Structure formats: C-alpha cells, structure tokens
Amino acid sequence: MTDDDRRDEQIRATDFRAVFRRHAGGVAVVTAIGPDGPRGFTATSVVSVSVEPPYFAFSVNASSSSRAVIEAADSVVVNLLAAGQADVAARFAAPAQDRFAGIATETLPGGDVVLTGAVGWVQGRIEQRIDIAGSLLVVVRVLHAMLGPQAFPLIYVDHAYHRLTEDTRIG
Amino acid sequence: MTDDDRRDEQIRATDFRAVFRRHAGGVAVVTAIGPDGPRGFTATSVVSVSVEPPYFAFSVNASSSSRAVIEAADSVVVNLLAAGQADVAARFAAPAQDRFAGIATETLPGGDVVLTGAVGWVQGRIEQRIDIAGSLLVVVRVLHAMLGPQAFPLIYVDHAYHRLTEDTRIG
C-alpha cells in the first residue's frame, strides 16, 4: 500500500463513519458464557437473515473487547432492549468490571443468560464466524425465541439513545 | 427430518418472527444495476461490520424478488432514508413495475444510482455472498460514502414506520 492508498483509505473510513453514525439501529445486549461466567455487550448490529429455518447475524468490531468472548463461545443470546432500558444499554457499553451487577437476569437450562425486561430474546448456536479485516460477522442458528413485555424498542443513532412511542408512528 | 422435527422447526420460525418483529431497524434502499437498468429494494438489515477498512453487510431473504439482482450485481449503493422518506421506503417495498418512476436520483460515474434526499449513502463492491439456508448475507467493501441533508432517520418496527425527533432523545 502506498502513502496515497493509505490516505485514500483513511478518507474512506472517515466518510463511512460519518454516514453510518446516521444509521439507526435497534439496541440489543448480546450475552455469552465465557470461562469466567456470563459476559455481555451492547450491539446495534443485529439483523434477521432467514426466517425458516431461523438465522440471525451480528457484527463485532475488531477493536471490541467482546470479540474474544464471541470467538470462544458456542452459543449466544440476543436481548432486544425496551425503550425504558437505556440504562441497561449504557451499562453493557461501558468498561465496567461487572456489567451484570444489579441487573435482573434469568438463566436458561443450557446456562445462557437472559436479561429481564427486554421486548424479546433469541438464543442460538454460533454456526459461522466470518473474519472481515479483523472484525467478525457472526451467523447464529436460532434454537429458542421468547417475547418479553410489550413495549417500544430502544434506538441508537448519532451517539444518542431514542425511544419510539405511539406518537412517532407515521401514517 | 421427522414430523416432530418439522413441527419444532415451524414453532421456532413462528417464535423468531414474533420476536424480530419487535427489532427496530434504520430503513435503507439498496440499489444495484441489473441487466435491465437500476433496481432497488427497501432493507432494514444493513449493519456496519468494519470501519478501517470500511465494510458493511446486509441480508436478502430467500423469498425476496431482489435476491436475483444481488446475486448478479458487482456493486451496490445503500441509501439511508430520512424520516421524511416513508413514501420512498413504501415504494421500494411494494411490488411496483417501476419503483424509480418519479423518484429523484443521481447516477454515479460507474453507473450506480443514488436516491436524492437520503441522510447519507455508501457505495461499494460486493465481496462475499454467504448463502444461509437460501437467504444471502452480503458483505460489501466501501468505495464511496457521502452525507446527505441533516435529518433524523426513518425507522421500521412492527410493520410500521416511525420518525425520530429531538423529543425522542433520552437523557
């Protein structure tokens, strides 16, 4: 790579970051069991891939401290946060020592951990980890899915959390 | 697969669909050039994967009429829609004959098509198409990214479009 190539690459990364800052995402906490117990992190990169059979995917940035957890885990839970759970989202995005302290959870038969109060959760087996320039695109085969309390979801965009309501609906 | 397995699979698909209906997504229109000219479809499955170098991904369901377009395309544009573009989102999600009729667009030097008024767009080269039970997870290397007018994004959740505003911000 020449210096020119490197500069072009940095401009592309800067432009890309600026545009994707405006891309809204529903907020989830992904949990997995590590060697020292449950771990979790906030993610806005969860997408449905296939419905029948059900698969979803999410990405983990190369620089994320959660990358090693996902690299080692067999299964994960994606907890879709409710509009009232911005504090939970912030907790699982912060460099806390114990992110689960004071957080209400339930443990599934296989050991996976679900956060109480999410609008729904999906648990599944990691089937593919696609390495893309050091970041991971993780493909998960769904084993269980459960609705939580009826609520609008929590949204993240441009470094801020937002809540949807009946009044934000269009049409 | 036994009848029991098949029934379990259907229950899983139903539960998964119910949970993911509550997963909010920023709304994008993905455009690509087909043999008969520009094609496009509404997607709520766009995620950032890597920033440096910049990559994003999106999924296309097995049953989508857009799957064949993406299968054949070399490059795509992801247009991140503004809160005021619900009509554009609906147009590119409907089984219209010509979804581009009456839609303001610009054509990039290589031929790719950008929708006017989006909060930003990203253009790139398709590098991987991962087949997951007939659906596609598409990995795109970013070549260009551009900001549009400053606006809140359009959100889709539970079969409805929503708009964020200053008042929906938490904290």
Of the pLDDT bands very low, low, confident and very high (cuts 50, 70, 90), residue B5 is confident
Q: How far apart are CA A8 and CA A26, in angstroms?
A: 31
What is the reported pLDDT for B96?
67
What is the reported pLDDT for A4?
87
Residue scoring higher pLDDT (B95 or B121) = B121
Contacts of B169 in chain A (CB under 8 A): 160-162
Work out whether strand A47-50 and strand A55-60 pair parallel, antiparallel, or are unpaired: antiparallel
Q: How far apart are CA B52 and CA B142, in angstroms?
A: 10
Tell me how far the alpha carbon of residue B171 is from its chain's centroid: 30
Which run of H or of E encompasses B30?
strand B28-34
Contacts of B163 in chain A (CB under 8 A): 168, 170
What is the average pLDDT value for chain B, to the nearest integer? 95
Print the SS3 string covering chain A. CCHHHHHHHHHHHHHHHHHHCCCCEECEEEEEEECCEEEEEEECCCEEEECCCCEEEEEECCCCCCHHHHHHCCEEEEEECEHHHHHHHHHCCCCCCCCCCCCCEEECCCCCEEECCCCEEEEEEEEEEEEECCEEEEEEEEEEEEECCCCCEEEEECCEEEECCHHHECC
State the average pLDDT over residues B124-150.
97
CATH number corresponding to B25-159: 2.30.110.10
Q: Could you report the per-residue pLDDT of B17-69, keeping only the tens digit for each?
A: 999 999 999 999 999 999 889 999 999 999 999 999 999 999 999 988 899 99
Instruction: Show me where the domains of chain A are located.
Output: 24-164
What is the reported pLDDT for B61?
93
CB contact under 8 A, A120 and B59: no
Contacts of A143 in chain B (CB under 8 A): 12
Q: What angle do CA B137, B150, B33 make, to 5 degrees?
A: 40
CB contact under 8 A, B52 and A13: yes
Contacts of A55 in chain B (CB under 8 A): 132-133, 135
Tell me how far the alpha carbon of residue B77 is from its chain's centroid: 10
Q: How far apart are CA B88 and CA B29, in angstroms?
A: 8
Contacts of B10 in chain A (CB under 8 A): 52
**C-alpha distance from A141 to closest chain B C-alpha (Å):** 10
Phi and psi angles of residue A109, each rounded to the nearest 5 degrees, phi first: -50, -40
CATH number corresponding to A24-164: 2.30.110.10
Q: For chain A, 171 residues long, give each residue's pLDDT as a single digit of tens.
A: 788 888 888 889 999 999 999 999 999 999 999 988 999 999 999 999 999 999 999 999 998 889 999 999 999 999 999 999 999 999 999 986 789 999 999 999 999 999 999 999 999 999 999 999 999 999 999 999 999 999 999 999 999 999 999 999 998
Q: pTM, whole model, 2 decimals?
A: 0.95
Q: Which among B19, B133, B154 is the nearest to A146, CB-wise?
A: B19
Q: Which of B 90-129 lie inside 8 A of A, CB atoms?
A: 119-122, 128
CB contact under 8 A, B134 and A9: no
What is the reported pLDDT for A95?
85
Q: Could you report the per-residue pLDDT of B59-83, keeping only the tens digit for each?
A: 999 988 899 999 999 999 999 999 9
What is the reported pLDDT for A103?
94
